[in-house]
Amino acid sequence: MAASNSSTRPTLNALHQPSGMLRPAAVTGSRSIFIQTENTPNPDALKFLPNHPILPPGLSSPFLEYLNPRATLAPPHPSPLAAQLMNIDGITSVFYGADFITVTKAADANWAHVKPEVFSLITEAVTSGAQIVNITENKSGEPDGGEEDSLSYNENDSEVVGMIKELLETRIRPAIQEDGGDIEFRGFEDGIVQLKLRGACRTCDSSTVTLKNGIEGMLMHYIEEVKGVNQVLDAEEEISALEFAKFEEKLRQQKGPDAAPSTIGKGTLDTVPG
């Protein structure tokens, strides 16, 4: 990889701290089930670690995300647990990592009311022994493993794209997963890396700061061909980002021209020292 002339390499600041101690959720025979909860940089998202595999064997993607109730029932990866969680008033999305579940609520919902029901449903799903995610068959009659991991090796990738994927996989993805999310590589063109944040990071106010101060800084430091990073947004996310930008600008005008953005410092990847 081509690197800059800076003698100090960027590091990831681990600001993420667990919010819940391990506690017994249920007992089946002689086996105890413990579920740990952790805060994320997104105040509307909580991470649950049930000490139990979440994703089924044979799944190509390292995560699954359900953004509406219909998605929890539709092929190729219906999930009874996700369907139940999405039926809770105030829950807006469910994200599955390999060994964790991130649940996101609406801004006006209260965790004090929502969290106990979420905790109960996850406990029941884990102790029941039932499959959390089902894999349906594709048109060929074979299990549908879904889309390939966007960071996986592809023989058609250029050398630069290969380096970008390797850095995302080894240095950036672990930090994003620690914060209850994941990251997708969507392309590289004219020096700009196209990325999409998922899970808790998808709706986090500090996601733009994370991309620019954290991910962009690291990629540009190690790979001289990278000139910037762009976040790929869905239509609803673009509207939300625009509204938040207007809100930030209004606050900045009230505080004065030298006021810093209010979201800096929330996420693990928010700052990358030079």
Q: Where in the chain is the domain with CATH 3.30.1370.70?
A: 34-126
Buried b (16+ CB within 10 A) or exposed e, 234-261: eeebeeebeeeeeebeeeeeeeeeeeee
Name the residue type at position 81.
L
Name the residue type at position 38.
E
- Extract the tokens encoding 33: 């089930």
Report which of 76, 74, 19, 98 is spatially closest to residue 86, judged by C-alpha positions. Answer: 74
Angstrom distance (rounded) from CA 180 to CA 54: 14
CATH number of 34-126: 3.30.1370.70
Q: Where in the chain is the domain with CATH 3.30.300.130?
A: 148-253
pLDDT above 90 for 205: no
Query: Average pLDDT in the 229-254 region?
Result: 67
Angstrom distance (rounded) from CA 85 to CA 185: 28
Angstrom distance (rounded) from CA 9 to CA 219: 11
Angstrom distance (rounded) from CA 221 to CA 215: 10
- Extract the tokens encoding 113: 């009311």
Domain 148-253 - what CATH class? Answer: alpha beta
Sheet holding 228-231, edge to edge: 181-189, 192-199, 228-231
Report which of 63, 269, 16, 41 is spatially closest to residue 167, judged by C-alpha positions. Answer: 269
Percent of the chain with pLDDT over 70: 76
What is the pTM (predicted TM-score) of this model? 0.75
Pairing of strands 181-189, 228-231: unpaired
Report which of 207, 117, 132, 37 is spatially closest to residue 216, judged by C-alpha positions. Answer: 207
pLDDT at 82: 98
Residue 177 DSSP symbol: H
Summarised one tens digit per residue, pLDDT across range 23-74 is 444 444 445 678 999 999 999 999 999 999 999 988 899 999 999 999 999 9
pLDDT above 90 for 22: no
Please say whether the beta carbons of 32 and 86 come within 8 A: no
pLDDT above 90 for 263: no
pLDDT at 264: 38
pLDDT at 24: 44
pLDDT above 70 for 198: yes
Report which of 211, 179, 217 is spatially closest to residue 196, judged by C-alpha positions. Answer: 211
CA 182 centroid distance within chain:
4
Q: Which residue has the tokens 């609520």?
A: 105
Summarised one tens digit per residue, pLDDT across range 65-124 is 999 999 999 999 999 999 999 999 999 999 999 999 999 999 999 999 999 999 999 999
Angstrom distance (rounded) from CA 150 to CA 161: 11
Rg (C-alpha) for the chain, rounded Å, is 20
Query: Average pLDDT in the 142-148 region?
Result: 78
